[in-house]
Amino acid sequence: MRISVDAHAIGCRQTGNEVYIRNLLKEFARLDKGSELIAYISKEGAKADLPRRIRTRRVSQNPYKRLGLDLPRHLGHDRPDLLHVQYTGPLFSAVPLVVTVHDVSFLEYPEYFTRFRSLQLRLTVRQTVQRAARVLTPSEYSRRAILKHYRIPEEKVVVVPNAVAGQFRPVERETARAAIQRKFGIERPFVLTVGDLQPRKNHVGLLHAFEDVLHAEPRLPHDLVFVGKETWYSPELHRAVNRSPVRDRVHFAGFVEDADLVKFYGACEMFMFPSFYEGFGLPILEAMACGRAVACSHATAMPEVANAAGILFDPGSKEEIARAMLDILLDAELRARLERLGLHRAAGFSWEKSAAQTLEVYYDVAGRRPRRAVALAARVS
């Protein structure tokens, strides 16, 4: 079978989208050695981040040229059995489409997007979902949301959970702290949150809760660290920090590569994820895999990911966010228990199983039987 994948996100710092497709491709190459794999990339450096047996084709970074010209041209030349895209497929496609829709926040909370981006996603994702042979999504929450907003058969939408890459594992806290201090200048113990600086991540809510924590327990030595890419929304968050009475205790690390992200997780005292909306919430699992206590929102897909291994709170309640932080920071026994539970929870997710389940969908769409190694891996619990 010949499989084509739109992998333009690799190397473009598209965070979750990039992590998703990069890890799937690496596992595809290992699990399905009999199929031909073609990745459409927009950055030359992306080729070095993929297994050698995956063939690559260049597409434009401009989405209009990529979707309107480059992908249809490559599909006509390569003639794959299917094409896998994220959210939006090419304008014309002579082959079956498999589309991953991580969430439909652009439909449910358009205020979290620029007006143009919200309209663009509304139009292009609807067209792609309706044309696709299968729609993949990482959580039951997102599956229900997709079926709510799009009139498509239920059996067309398949849940394939995300997972944690192997490099996210526990490291000695003091070693990680020393590395973070050397590179980022953060000297105090810290509370960590990870995510692009956008409104749905609720960074301002976390900031105000952190102010309350330090007011309630002024002897706490902790700082607050935001790790995430700057966006159109960043100036509003920076203004909120500049007005804050704890502004000297807040740090912005920007986008960091995975090697540094593992160190941030390893160095932090605890991990907070106060997002209003997530189709999955991969940083929750990453922090757990690194052995850190997690508190996160009880909204959307996040309880599905954290399960009983994290403290859940109402993201709209500053008091509940502050209480979750205080409970973990002040109670060493609770913190240690959450760390143990988190390691066990994260171990239940693997990119191998996610890739195998995705390959099974490919084979079904192509009308073929999956190879034995793929079928076995897809059923590993």
Q: Indicate whether 21 belongs to any domain.
A: yes
Give the C-alpha distances (Å, rounded to integers) separating 83 from 147, 235, 273, 371: 22, 38, 33, 19
Q: Smallest Cα–Cα separation from 17: which of 152, 260, 196? A: 196
151, 265: one domain? no
Q: Indicate whether 168 belongs to any domain.
A: no
177, 63: one domain? no
Structure token digits, residue 162 = 């995300």
CB 302, CB 273: distance < 8 Å: yes
Q: Going by C-beta distance under 8 Å and a sequence separation of 6 or more, which residues neighbour residue 127? A: 89
222, 106: one domain? no
62, 209: one domain? no
54, 84: one domain? yes
State how many domains the chain has. Answer: 2
State the CATH number of the domain containing residue 112.
3.40.50.2000
Q: Is the dihedral of CA 266, 137, 308, 299 positive or negative?
A: positive
Task: Please count the CA atoms within 13 angstroms of the CA of 8 that sit on its side-chain side.
Answer: 21
36, 145: one domain? yes
Q: Indicate whether 89 belongs to any domain.
A: yes
85, 140: one domain? yes
Structure token digits, residue 247 = 């502004």
What does the pLDDT look like over 234-286, one tens digit per residue?
999 999 999 999 999 999 999 999 999 999 999 999 999 999 999 999 999 99
CB 40, CB 5: distance < 8 Å: yes
CA distance 147 to 293: 34
252, 151: one domain? no
Here the contacts of 120-124 (C-beta below 8 Å, separation 24 or greater) are 121/87, 121/88, 124/67, 124/87, 124/88
The DSSP bridge pattern shows strands 270-273 and 250-254 to be unpaired
Q: What is the pTM of this model?
A: 0.92
What does the pLDDT look like over 141-191, one tens digit per residue?
999 999 999 999 999 999 999 999 999 999 999 999 999 999 999 999 999
Q: Which domain does 150 fall in, by range?
A: 2-163+350-378
Q: Which amino acid is at 274?
A: P
Structure token digits, residue 309 = 């291994």
CA distance 277 to 200: 6
290, 371: one domain? no
| H runs (alpha helix) in 169-225 | 173-184, 203-216
Q: Indicate whether 250 belongs to any domain.
A: yes
Q: Going by C-beta distance under 8 Å and a sequence separation of 6 or more, which residues neighbour residue 215? A: none
Q: Smallest Cα–Cα separation from 240: which of 218, 221, 224? A: 224
201, 125: one domain? no
Per-residue pLDDT of the chain (381 residues; tens, 9 = 90+): 999 999 999 987 757 899 999 999 999 999 999 999 999 999 888 888 899 999 999 999 999 999 999 999 999 999 999 999 999 999 889 899 999 999 999 999 999 888 999 999 999 999 999 999 999 999 999 999 999 999 999 999 999 999 999 999 999 999 999 999 999 999 999 999 999 999 999 999 999 999 999 999 999 999 999 999 999 999 999 999 999 999 999 999 999 999 999 999 999 999 999 999 999 999 999 999 999 999 999 999 999 999 999 999 999 999 999 999 999 999 999 999 999 999 999 999 999 999 999 999 999 999 987 765 565 556 654
159, 191: one domain? no
Q: Indicate whether 358 belongs to any domain.
A: yes
Total length of the chain: 381
CA distance 270 to 324: 10
Q: Indicate whether 357 belongs to any domain.
A: yes
Q: What is the pLDDT of residue 45?
A: 84
154, 128: one domain? yes
CA angle centred on 380, ends 377 and 381, rounded to 5°: 155
Per the prediction, the chain carries an average pLDDT of 94
Q: Smallest Cα–Cα separation from 196: which of 338, 26, 12? A: 12
